[in-house]
Amino acid sequence: MSTAGIYIHIPFCRSRCSYCDFATGIFESTLSERYVKALVKEILCWHEIESPELVDTLYFGGGTPSLLSAEQLQEILEAIRTRFSISSDTAGEVTMEMNPGTVTPSLLQEFHQLGINRASFGAQSFDDRELARLGRSHTAAETRCTFEYLRNAGFDNVSFDLIAGLPGQSLEGWERNLDQALALEPEHLSFYLLEVHEGTPLAEHIKRGIQPQPDDDLAARMYELMLERSALKGYEHYEISNLGLAGFESRHNTKYWTGAPYYGFGCSAHSYDGRLRRWSNERDITRYIDMVQTDVTPVIEETHLTKEQAISESIFLGLRLMRGIDLKRHHLQFGADFRDSHGMELTRFHDAGLIEYDGNLLRLTRSGMLLSNEVFSAFV
């Protein structure tokens, strides 16, 4: 059994991005205090697994976890260390998502002293006009400034988030974004093609013609350009949306793609026991707080996967990794030959140039990466 990871959801932001459909709200100090107390109680009272495996990665996501104070963060970390067996290897990766302009040099130093040693940094764009259209509350100058703060505070493992395919974005503009991001030399890059979710302000703007419809073909060319430029700088493309310098792949996120157990805490957090059981928490912030404080479990949904569902998940999650799926290992794990059970789909995708074989390995081609959702949907 693989060692487990812990995910902590911090649902507060300084402002709401136009494309976001995550479980987040505007930061309020009083609500954040109540939330942290509930979060600590949930961790200390947690009993979803009788004997949880060793934990070797922690990940603070959101939202904007860097809006917490060092004291609040310390409370949460102490609760985790009280409730879980922490591997001595955990020091290798404790991640916090951060947004430019939400931290000071002194706060980053306090975070680093508490054990946070990896920053996942929401740069998104180095064009102030694009940032404004996304509803981001920071500027490109703040991105560069915050990155400098991180380096000065001792962070030597920093990941940038970048978004391509924005309404009105040009290939030349995207190229400038890449140039500026790569010039800063972060250890890791997470790259996303913009997804327009129903119910978000961005979706409404596009529907009303305030912003143009994103161009999928242009976004595909941006994806290709990202891979080409980053490869020249030594980044390895190890997962569909992620690239890293050697040794700087996200250990925590890799758990999601390889079927390792992970335990989520906070509103909307999801968990998986590494076998057949998944569960998730109440999404609404205040309802989550009330449930925990009145000794009601915040878990509102639970799924027990069938063997067929577990096989399907291992396929579409494993195919996200550039190394692909080891078909021999898959056979040993599930006692079934994937090529027998999904022969028609595999033949169709192979003939279309979307997947390829390399001995016992099955993986997406470059074209398959661009059409990955179509491939994955065949195995859901």
Q: Spell out the domains of the chain, with CATH numbers in brackets.
A: 4-257 (3.20.20.70), 307-377 (1.10.10.920)
Q: Does residue 72 contact residue 35 with C-beta atoms inside 8 Å?
A: no
C-alpha span between 26 and 15 (Å, rounded): 6
CA 315 to chain CA centroid, Å, is: 19
The answer to whether residues 140 and 117 touch, using CB atoms and an 8 Å cutoff, is: no
The larger pLDDT score, comparing residue 182 to residue 137, is at: 182
| pTM as predicted | 0.90
Q: Note the pLDDT tens digit of each residue in 222-281.
A: 889 999 999 999 999 999 999 999 999 999 999 999 999 999 999 999 999 999 999 999
Cα 367 from Cα 318, distance rounded (Å): 17
Single-letter amino acid, residue 54 = L
Least confidently predicted of 18-27, 34-43, 47-56, 57-66: 18-27
**Cβ atoms within 10 A of the Cβ of 304, count?**
11
Number of CB atoms found within 10 A of residue 279's CB: 20
pLDDT at 192: 82
**In the predicted structure, residue 212 carries a pLDDT above the cut 60:** no
Residue 20's pLDDT is what? 42
335, 362 contact by CB (below 8 A): no
Strand pairing category for 94-98 and 118-124: parallel
Q: How do residues 78-95 score in pLDDT, each as one tens digit?
A: 999 999 988 876 556 999
C-beta separation of 242 from 257 below 8 A: no
Which has the higher per-residue pLDDT, 288 or 128?
A: 288
User: Is the pLDDT at 204 greater than 70, yes or no?
Assistant: no
pLDDT at 22: 47
| Terminal Cα-to-Cα distance of the chain (whole angstroms) | 24
| Mean pLDDT across 290-306 | 96
* Spatial distance between the Cα atoms of 144 and 157, rounded to a whole number of angstroms: 16
In sequence order, what are the residues at sequence separation of 6 or more whose Cβ sits closer than 8 angstroms to the Cβ of residue 137? 14, 15, 99, 101
Between residues 88 and 33, the one the model is more confident about: 33
Q: Residue 178 pLDDT more than 60?
A: yes
Q: Which residue has the higher pLDDT, 193 or 274?
A: 274
pLDDT tens sequence across 315-370: 989 999 999 999 999 889 888 888 887 888 999 999 999 999 999 999 999 999 98
Per-residue pLDDT band for 144 (boundaries 50, 70, 90) equals very high
Angle between helical axes of 29-44 and 285-293 (0-180°, round to 10): 50
**H/E stretch holding 135:** none
HSE toward the beta carbon, residue 225, CA cutoff 13 A: 20
Amino acid at 147: F
* 237 phi and psi angles, rounded to 5 deg: -85, 100
202 burial class (0-12, 13-18, 19+ CB within 10 angstroms)? buried
Residues of the chain above pLDDT 70, percent: 89
